[in-house]
Amino acid sequence: MPFINTPIPDLLIFEPQIWHDDRGYFFESYNQKTWEDAGVHVDFVQDNQARSMLGVLRGLHYQTGEMAQAKLVRVLEGEVLDVAVDLRPESPTYGQWYSIRLSAENKRQLFVPRGFAHGYLVLSELAEFAYKCDNYYSKAHEGGLRYDDPRLNIDWEFDLTQVLVSEKDRILPFFGAHRY
């Protein structure tokens, strides 16, 4: 089975089977039947892509209420440290975070269910990041958490004084002040 459980329930690593030959490689990046056979039922409606340079940190973002989103994230070029924070109040791992290195080389993907804040930090000179969402973006429902929240104490594996962060992300609230 191409799924690996993380210490946080419902947060899954997807590791596709890759076929290599003299021409290069081939793999299925997504197959709805594979996911449904594993008990994961999600209907993706939007694909997004971003290109960023070394040290760019995007996040931690989420959407609220009826516009909450599940995401399937992956890296097409380069490497990132991908982070998800459990914001589900009923979850035994509420407030805990998980990180994983995703790269074009390892082809791993992270499934981030609804109820999580999500972000990533570029660890290579450039990174091309792509993700599927199961709901449409809604500015009225967007929220976020500070990437440097001392309560969360996320290990970004990078000197945070050297990161490039948008002004919007610099002023996000700390954990506990969010409105999920």
What structural domains and CATH numbers belong to the chain? 3-170 (2.60.120.10)
Is 20 a residue of the active site? no
Q: Tell me: the pLDDT tens digits for 108-125?
A: 999 999 999 999 999 999
Is 131 a residue of the active site? yes
Set 98, 120, 131, 147: catalytic member: 131
Q: What is the DSSP string of 2-35?
A: -EEE-SSTT-EEE----EEETTEEE--S--HHHH
CA angle (78 as vertex; 72, 82 as ends), nearest 5: 40
Q: Tell me: the pLDDT tens digits for 34-64?
A: 999 999 999 999 999 999 999 999 999 999 9
Residue 179: pLDDT band by 50, 70, 90 thresholds?
Answer: low
pLDDT beyond 90 at 1: no
pTM: 0.95
% of the chain with per-residue pLDDT over 90: 96
Q: What is the mean pLDDT of residues 71-87?
A: 98
Length in residues, the chain:
180
Coil, strand or helix: which one is 95? coil
Comparison of pLDDT for 178 and 107, the residue scoring more: 107
